[in-house]
Structure 1
């Protein structure tokens, strides 16, 4: 089967069976078409050496672009095998060049504590601004929301006493995120200040708070906590949420679901947590951890 036909079948499967968003399907189509062109129309018939040549050809791309393209190729070959169009999968061990993907910026627990000390002081004043700040930061760090997801939250998205919220994220895909007791209480206190006709949890000028305003609030908070504002953003707090959960022993698949990542490879960037912590976790949790040697 020629590449164009195989790629079309793969994209049909992604749309019908996986429910992939139109933008995702378009990106896969472009990436696979470029891969096919690079291999002279022989992508579907390529062996491991051919795919390594493909990686070499893409070596100067940005890390995020390279990761996306390689993910498309891996999924394409998995599809070919599942449909019986190939007996082997040479893309199974397809890796990236050594330069790899940059690690996400994050914050230490001590830095997060300093930010929350400022938040608590502001919220203790009982002003709407202080209550809003606490609700925003509790949801950013406590639930790992994206900036756009947070500012556009419907007023009814977080229900009192419910330990989770169902959100629409990238590609209009729904996912369930945790809402801690602290976050729930902060949201309830803030929501009590809103008028009865407000549609959004964080309204502004007839619509919802802008991403720009959220970034300004977070950077002002960082400065007040003695942290360089350039190091902090809503996305950095999302990174901190993920990193600190992994440090606490969270399961990578559960974290993938909470963050709304379509590909587990995206979530794996957070496995840069301290190796010493992971070794300690194995030493404490492994079934053989407390077995003592007699000699």
Structure 2
């Protein structure tokens, strides 16, 4: 019988060697911890155990996991299960038989400029207001905003260097509002330092974690009267993309600014309103139905 500690460490080592991001490795390890909590050994985890984990209640809300979360976790389980088979730890691959997760078509969740103004006027802390402005005007994810350091800033080109998923380097430009924040927060290392030690920085001296920042922004959203649960801190990124697209910026340019590998992903951020669809229908030509008097239904010409 192989211990979970050995399996989790071996799999994490292989993922690091393959260049996967720490966030992905941590997410997969957290899922293995849930499988371990079922009481099964790595060799005896079954498809039924995996389904039970996918059907668990959300730890914070108590509701069902979102289809998107289930889809990601299913892929993690399948990757781990296949690795177990390939490395000879077990003779079968139970994850291969997990059914696909039906994920509803993604809809954009952008905030409006009025929403953002209300958030900034809600009495939030300066650091939270700065995070909101940075996310809205750069398209950076909250997890990327909290990692900004002064050494990531190029004041000659007015850009921020950011590391994205998979450790990919990405450059975003700073409009005047972000330059003001850079002047206030610059020359001190982390822009959003944490006064406490945390799981990422057990000895202190690190930055605020994404979970903490997201919670603060969610609190500001509700305080500003934005009750829609689908609107979160990530909706600031949707605002960035949607605003650029509506101002006529080419979708390929927006793709690069967002750091998307696929153009299809960028297009998901383009919200289409009822007014826009009505206006679009007006470009269609008028085609007369050729109605004739004296002819009833069923009389073909």
- Normalised to the residue count of structure 1, the TM-score between the two structures is 0.53
Question: Do the aligned residues in 1 keep the contact of 2:241 with 2:270 (CA within 8 Å)?
Answer: no
Seen in structure 2, the aligned counterparts of structure 1 residues 277 and 177 have a Cα distance that, compared at 3 Å, is farther
One of 144, 148, 156 as aligned partner of 1:153: 148
Q: Is residue 258 of structure 2 the alignment partner of residue 259 of structure 1?
A: yes
1:277 to partner: Cα distance: 4.8
1:201 aligns with 2:191: yes
Using the alignment, how far apart are the partners of 1:140 and 1:113 within structure 2? 14
Query: 1:231 & 1:161 partners in 2: Cα distance?
Result: 38
Does 1:166 find its partner at 2:166?
A: no
Secondary structure in 2 aligned to 1:153?
A: coil
Aligned 8 A contact 2:108 2:271 in 1: no
State whether structure 2 residue 172 is matched by structure 1 residue 177.
yes
Aligned counterparts of 2:261 and 2:232: Cα–Cα separation in 1: 23
Q: Deviation of residue 156 (structure 1)? A: 2.1
CA distance in 1, matches of 2:235, 2:137: 13
* Residues 1:276 and 1:228: Cα distance change in structure 2 (over 3 Å): closer
Question: Quick one: distance in 1 between partners of 2:142 and 2:234?
Answer: 7
Q: Which has the higher helix share?
A: 1
| Partner SS for 1:230 | coil
1:78-157 → structure 2 map (5 Å cutoff): 101-118=105-122, 129-130=125-126, 132-157=127-152
Equivalent residue of 1:271, what SS?
A: coil
Contact 2:108/2:270 (<8 A) preserved: no
CA distance in 2, matches of 1:137, 1:163: 19
* Gapped regions of structure 1 (runs ≥ 5): 1-19, 24-61, 70-97, 123-128, 284-295
Supply the distance in 2 between the matched residues of 1:112 and 1:173 (Cα, whole angstroms).
Answer: 29
**How far 1:229 sits from its partner (Å)?**
7.0
CA deviation string 1:163-184 (max 9, x = no partner): 3222111111112212111111
Structure 1 residue 201 displacement after superposition:
1.6
Match of 2:6 in 1: none
Change in 2 beyond 3 A, CA 1:152/1:275: same
Offset, 1:279 = 8.7
Query: How large is the RMSD of aligned CA atoms in angstroms?
Result: 3.8
| Alpha carbons of structure 1 residues 173 and 185: separation in structure 2 relative to 1, 3 Å | same
2:128/2:213 contact within 8 Å kept: no
8 A contact 1:222–1:229 mirrored in 2: no
Deviations 1:50-82, CA, capped at 9 Å, x for gaps: xxxxxxxxxxxx67969xx9xxxxxxxxxxxxx
| 1:122-161 deviation line (CA, Å, top 9, x unaligned) | 6xxxxxx42x233211111010101221111222223446
Shift of 1:235: 0.9
Report how many aligned residue pairs link the two structures.
Answer: 188
